[in-house]
Every structure is written in structure tokens, then in C-alpha cells.
Chains A and B, each alone.
Chain A
Amino acid sequence: MSSNAITIPGNQIQSRPWVDELHQWVTTVDHKRLGILYILSALLFLTIGGVEALVIRIQLMHSHNNFVSPEVFNSMFTMHGTTMIFFVAMPVLFGFANYLVPLMIGARDMAFPRLNAFSFWLSFLGGLLLYFSFLGGSGLYGAGSAPDVGWWSYAPLGARAFSPGHSSDYWTLSLLVSGFGSIGTAINIIATIVSLRCPGMKISRMPLLVWMNLVMAGMVLIAITPLSAAQIMLLIDRYLGGHFFDTQAGGSAVLWMHFFWIFGHPEVYVLIIPCFAFMSEIIPVFSRKPIFGYPVMVAATVCIAFVSMSVWAHHMFTIGMNSYANSFFTLTTMAVGVPTGIKIFNWIGTMWGGRIQFKTPMLFSIGFLFQFLVAGLTGIMMAASPFDWQLSLSYFVVAHFHYVIVGGILFALFAAFYYWYPKMTGRMLSERLGKWHFWLFLIGFHLTFDVMHIPGVLGMPRRIYTYEPGRGWDTLNLIISIGAFIQAIAILVFVANLIISYFKGAKAGNDPWDAWTLEWSTSSPPLAYNFATVPTVSSRRPLWDLKHPEDPDSRYE
């Protein structure tokens, strides 16, 4: 074994003029920089989407409020949903995948760096296109500006007849464009993982984060494309006189629903599986034990990917499918809960017998476990289709999916931020601000989303700009809105932490968490070429083997 020490004399590192630096960033093909660009653009859209959420919550604070008009409100919930899913969640997860996957497999970059850059800029363009609708969406007197058809744009509401002007076109085009970006990134991730693993890293030795991003990328290929196809059909209807979803010409509104949800359901697994990946890397490190049941975790993930392709019509339980179809989708939806539950048990099994360190990444991970459990269980409730005939399209569903997306995905993302920020910037995030962020966000989250289940059960439908007094929804909505503002404050604390720590944070060094995967073997931040020499590995935790040569993992695998 040889030692490769590369010293870079301090006086050769010079600062460049800012225009030059900006040019470097805009033209970069480096996976680490593109990863950071994805994350920064996601944070930008998170702020905008968050403001939209606050507008919604102010309007709904009490019955018969008129903070905004119905037209504006309807645009707000459409833009909020579209922004958060397509321009926050997907980009931030692609950003982390971009940053981490090559490092974790011992590669120097993604398989196709230029495709990587192209995919990012396509995604970003899609976001800009969506927001341009506020300026350019009208096109017709009296027609709305930003899209207001809900993030599903159900037929025939999305047709020319019911959505005049260009607002729906901006919705369609922006998602089509960013969808192509997503497909490009997915292809890149797959090619990278299959073709660029370092010597010794067999498929069965890849970190779980790599495995799960591989599964996620595979799902993107067959889940995003149905939406792209449906949107092409919608454009044909809107501009070429087509009749795909034109019910007056015999077309089917239900067909749009099927196409949309064949995309829509796997999409939520595309969003959650990378978060499972974060948990599978972070929980072991802060429990000081390897992940419990690595092969089962892989199998469960692949199982989820397949089964999740068969559950889509549980979003359509109320549209009048026959009892056999409803029963089938009830069964598959309940079945997909089994591999998902197995993963929760394995994470708890990882913590069991460990020595848990309650640093901020672990706090968010524990929050994730609790909230994902609850969200999964409310999902099982709605899997029972008769129960869903009451709960569907109500605030119970809104509570459920925000529990998954905010309580699950966002918590996992916060954990990932606190865990990998040192690697990306060379500085630690403040633990003190991190704990403030965590507790404030936890309180706000539960205030909002625990309570939100109740109006659903009391008959409050979703997507309504106002509601009647005397239905028992007023006080509940007020509490929900207060929680939203507390979460907003927590996000401000988080952003402050990101900025302050960049300049004043403690220096991180290579491996601040005493972790075991390859990204911690290189500098923080890594140099452009990632590794001085391409490493060779012989187990799932190469750094554990190096730190514990008397008891390497390779002996047990």
C-alpha cells in the first residue's frame, strides 16, 4: 500500500475576479458544482413556493376571508404544488445525487458531464418558464395569468375551452422542458453507477445511497415519461385541434387521470427513495453501527419500485371504477406498505444496540422516522377505498401528503444538509442554530399538519379559497396557519445558518463525523478531480476497514 499525499502550497491559491468566478459556475460541467447549483436553485424555489403557501394559509385563516381573490388563490395552490414538486424536491434530490454518487463510487465525475450541465439548465429554465406565466400568461382578455388548474390539470379543465389564454400552456411547457432535464439526469446517474464504479466496488458493495439513486433513476425513466406523453397530447389538443381529452368529441377525462397518476404515484416514490438513501447513510453513522439488513434494504427498495407502478389508481377511487378495480388497487396499495415498513424497522434495528449521537442530522432523522411512520399509516387508511371515498379530495389527504413531503422528505433533506454541508464547503453548520431550526420547525410542522387531518374528517374539501362558518373548521384553520408561520421562521433560521456558517463555521476537515463511505476520504471540499488516486475497495464500508484493520467489514460480508 502506498501513501499518496498531495500538497498544495498555500500561496498558489489566488482569488479570481467575481465575473470570472461567475463564468466558471455558469459553464461548469463538474458534478460537484452542478450539484450545488441544483441545490441553490431548489432553495430559491423553496422560498417562492413557501411564500405561496403562506398566502394560502392567510386566506384560509378564517371563513369568508378576502385576503386574495379566488382567481389568485387558485393560482397560488397550483403554483405552490407545481413548484414544490418539480422545482424544489426533484432538483434538490438530483443535486445531492449529482454531488454524492461519483464521490461514493470512487469516480472522478458523472458519466456525461456535459449532459449533466445541459440537464440542470433545462430544469432551471423550466422553473423560469413557469414563473414567467405571471407576466406572459394572459393572452386573452379576462384570462388568468399564472396557471390555476391545480398541479394535476385534470381534463377537461386544462383544455382550451376551460383554460383560455396561455396560463395552462406555461404549466405544460415548463414541466415538459424540466421533464427532459430529469430524464437526462436519470440516464446520467444510471450510466455513472453502472459504468464508473471504482475497482472492487461490486454492485453488492455499493453504499445504499448509490443503490437507491440507481433505483430512483430507473423509476424516473418510466414514470416521468408518461407525464411528458400526456402533456404532448394536451398541447396537441390545445393547439392542433386534437381530441385526446375532449369529452365533447368522445374523448376521455378519465384517460388523463390514468396517464397523470401513472406518472404521479411513482413520482412520489422517486421523491422519497433518495430520502431513504440519506437516512440509510446518516442513521448508521450516528448510531455507530452498520445499516441493519443491507441486502433486505436493497430488496425492499427494488420491491417498492416495482409495486409502486401498480398502485396509481388509488388516487382515483372516487371516479367510479368498478368494485374489482377498486379492490385491486386497495390490495396493491396496502401491499406497498410492507416493504416500506420493513425499511422503518431496519432503521430502528440500526439504532438498536448502538451509541446514538444526537447531532442535528440525527435529530432530523429521528423526526423523519416518527413522521414517516405516521404518514405511512394515514396512507394505509386511505388505501381502504371506502374510507378513501370520504377522505379523498379533503384536507385529510393534504395533511397526509404534506406529512410525507415535509415531515419525511424535508426532514431527511435537512439531515442531509447538516451532514454533507461540511463536505461541500469545508465548514460545519452551527449545532446551536441547527437545534433552534429543528425544534422550531418540529413545533410548527406538528401544529400545522397534525391538526390538518381534522378538518378533512369534518368534511372540508381541498382547493377551496374560502369556506362556510359553522362547519367547525375555523379554529382549526387558524391553528394550521399559525404553525405555517412558525415553520417559515425556522426556515429563516436554517438559511441564516447556511450563510453564517459558510463564513464563520468551524473547519470541518476530511471526516468530521467519523463516517465510512468514500466521500469522507477526500478533502472538504473535494478537489476538482475528487481523488488523488482512484481507490480500490473490498467491503461496503471502505473507511471502516481502514480505521479498523483488525476487524474489517470484508470479513463479514
Chain B
Amino acid sequence: MSVVTTSFPNTAPGWQLPSRGKVAMAGLIIAESAIFTIFVVAYLFYLGKSLTGPAPREVLETPIFYTICLLSSSLTIHFAAKFLARGIKFAFLGFWLLTIALGGLFLYGTAQEWHRLIYEHGLTISTNLFGTTYYSLVGLHGFHVTAGLVMLLTVAVLGLCGHIGIKQSGHIEALSMYWHFVDAVWVVVFTVVYVLGR
């Protein structure tokens, strides 16, 4: 017979700790920030050091429109989360789908830019140091946007089937933290690549 006899008081008034989902997402964001920092450092270090090939100012065009799309998607996801917290599912879904559309538009813009760089200017990842660092950094960010869109789409499908309600509000907030992070990274990448780098 096994017996647990240690006794403890049974009271637990007012013991409130942060939500584990948000803490975990914050941890993930910290880790991802470190990865992006290394790629940004490599990009900055190699600016001007390519031995051959097209230079940034010769081929880069500042993607103002697509940047606005991505940054507005932060706003729309913020509203979506707020509406869900108040239980207004229709508005939540509307803004959520708008976020996905804006994110998708951003990815389309990146694809378009890469197509132009590769076929009109002959800049690939193996052309020179600029090519390597540019495609790696922008590509890493694009990969994170894509992963985010997959998660957003999953939520959209669940939402359209009626499974997302006020109880999932915490999860949605954690996910929107990720999306905000992706946008914040774009602010940094944009500044480094299109502003400082040229």
C-alpha cells in the first residue's frame, strides 16, 4: 500500500501568474530575434565587400507598397484579436481574413521582386556576397511570413467552421504576437537592406 501523508494547506487566493502561451511565444520571439540578428550582422558586415556583380543600389527598388501591406496587417490582426476578446466573431473573422490577404500580398511582392532580380539583373544567391546575404535575409523573413500565414489560415478554417470563440482569445493573442514580431523584423530588414544598404 502506498500512502501520501504530507499535508499542505488547501488555500490559493489571488495567485495569478502570466499565461503560459504568451510566455512561450515571448520565448520563441526572443530565440527568433537572435537568429535574425545573426543574419542582419552578416548582411551589414558584407556590405560593399562583394568582389563582383550587381551592387544593391544598382538593382534594389524600395518595396513601399508591399511594406505598407505587411505593416497594416499588424493593425488588422490587432483589431481581429480585440473583436474576438469581446466575442464579436464576425468582425474577428473579417479582420483575420484581411490580415491573411495583406500577408499574402506581401509575399507576392517579394516573389515579384525576386523574379525581377533573377531574370532581369542576374542576381542569384550564388552570384556574389550581396546575393547570398540578400536572399538569405529576405528569404528567412519570407519563410517566417509563410509559416505565419499557414498558422493564420489554419485558424481561419477553424473560425469559419465555428470553432473559434471567446475561449480561444488567449491563443489568438499569442499567435498575433508572432505576427507582430514578423512585422517588426520586416521593419529592421527593410531599414538594413533598402535604406542603409543602398
Contacts and interface: CB of A to CB of B under 8 A. Distances in A.
Contacts of B5: 3, 5
- A: interface residue count bin: 35 or more
A7 B2 contact: yes
B128 interface: yes
A320 interface: no
Given A236-B132, A249-B128, A228 B35 contact: yes
Interface string B19-52: 1110110011011101101110010011001110
B3 interface: yes
A307 B126 CA distance: 38
Contacts of B124: 241
Contact of B3 (A2, A7, A262): A7
A191 interface: yes
A523 B6 CA distance: 10
B4 interface: yes
B126 A241 contact: yes
B1 interface: yes
Contacts, number: 155
Given A5-B5, A187-B28, A196-B20, A229 B12 contact: no
A197 B6 contact: no
A252 B34 contact: no
A229 B42 CA distance: 10
Nearest to B139: A236
A51 B12 CA distance: 52
A144 B27 CA distance: 39
Contacts of B18: 194-195
Contacts of B2: 7-8, 523
Interface in A176-227: 183, 186-188, 190-192, 194-200, 217-218, 221-222, 224-226
Interface string A446-470: 0000000000000000000000000
B129 interface: yes
B35 A225 contact: yes
A531 B7 CA distance: 10
Most buried by B among A221, A243, A510, A522: A243
Given A249-B51, A250-B51, A251-B129, 5 more contacts: A4-B8, A7-B3, A195-B23, A244-B136, A536-B12
Contacts of A194: 17-18, 20, 23
12 contacts: A2-B10, A5-B4, A194-B17, A194-B20, A225-B32, A241-B124, A243-B132, A244-B133, A249-B51, A249-B129, A255-B45, A536-B11
